[in-house]
Chain A
Amino acid sequence: MSITVTVPLLFSIAETPAPEEGDRYVSGLSTGKKLLLLGLLLVVVVTALRYSVGGMGRFSPLASSLRDILSPIQRGMMIAGRELGDFIATPGRLIGLTKRYQQLEEQNSQLESQLLQFKEISEENSRLKGMLDFSTNMASQMTTKAAAVTGRDYGNWLGTITINKGAAQGINSNMAVITPAGLVGRVTRVSKNTAEVLLITDSRSGVGSMVQETRAPGIVEGVSGGKGSLVVVNIPPDLTPSPGDRVITSGLDGSIFPKGIPIGTVRNVRKDEAGLFKMADVEPYVDFNRLEEVLVVTSLTLKTP
Chain B
Amino acid sequence: MRALYFPVLVLGFVLLQFTALNFIAINGVKPDLVLILVILNGFFLGTREGAFWGFIGGILQDLIGGGYFGLYALTGMAAGYLGGLAEGRLYRESRLIGAGLVGACTFGAQLLFYLLLLLLNVRVSLLHALTGVIGPVSVYNALVALICYGLFYRLRRSGLLGDGYF
Contacts and interface: CB of A to CB of B under 8 A. Distances in A.
Interface of A: 1, 4, 7-12, 15, 17-18, 21, 24-25, 42, 45-46, 48-53, 56, 59-60, 62-64, 66-67, 70, 73-74, 77-78, 80-82, 84-86, 88, 150-158, 160, 162, 189, 196, 203-204, 223-224, 226-228, 288-289
A24 B166 CA distance: 12
A74 B19 contact: yes
A77 B74 contact: no
Interface in B49-86: 49-52, 55, 61, 63-74, 77, 81
A42 B58 CA distance: 13
Contacts of A85: 20, 23-24
A25 to B, nearest CB: 8
A165 B3 CA distance: 34
B45 interface: yes
Given A11-B81, A81-B21, A17 B68 contact: no
B28 A18 contact: no
Contacts of B81: 11
11 contacts: A11-B81, A17-B46, A17-B48, A49-B119, A63-B63, A81-B23, A156-B28, A158-B122, A224-B128, A227-B128, A289-B28
A49 to B, nearest CB: 4
Interface in B3-33: 3, 14-25, 27-30, 32
A45 B68 CA distance: 11
B64 A70 contact: yes
Contacts of B73: 45
Contact of B63 (A9, A62, A152, A288): A62
Interface in B84-132: 87-88, 113-114, 116-117, 119-125, 128-129, 132
The 4 closest A-B pairs by CB, nearest first: A81-B20, A85-B23, A63-B66, A11-B48
A78 B15 CA distance: 10
A77 to B, nearest CB: 4
A31 B85 CA distance: 19
Given A11-B48, A63-B64, A224-B124, A156 B20 contact: no
Interface of B: 3, 14-25, 27-30, 32, 45-52, 55, 61, 63-74, 77, 81, 87-88, 113-114, 116-117, 119-125, 128-129, 132-133, 136-137, 165-166
A43 B19 CA distance: 33
Contacts of A52: 67-70
Given A53-B68, A189-B66, A203-B124, A11 B52 contact: yes
Q: Main SS of chain B's interface residues?
A: helix
Given A226-B25, A227-B27, 12 more contacts: A15-B47, A42-B74, A46-B70, A49-B74, A63-B66, A77-B20, A82-B20, A153-B67, A158-B67, A189-B66, A203-B123, A227-B132
Contact of B18 (A84, A152, A157, A203): A152
B66 A67 contact: yes
A203 B122 contact: yes
A130 B109 CA distance: 60
Nearest to A231: B125
B14 to A, nearest CB: 6
A289 B28 CA distance: 7
B49 A21 contact: yes
Contacts of B123: 203
B13 to A, nearest CB: 10
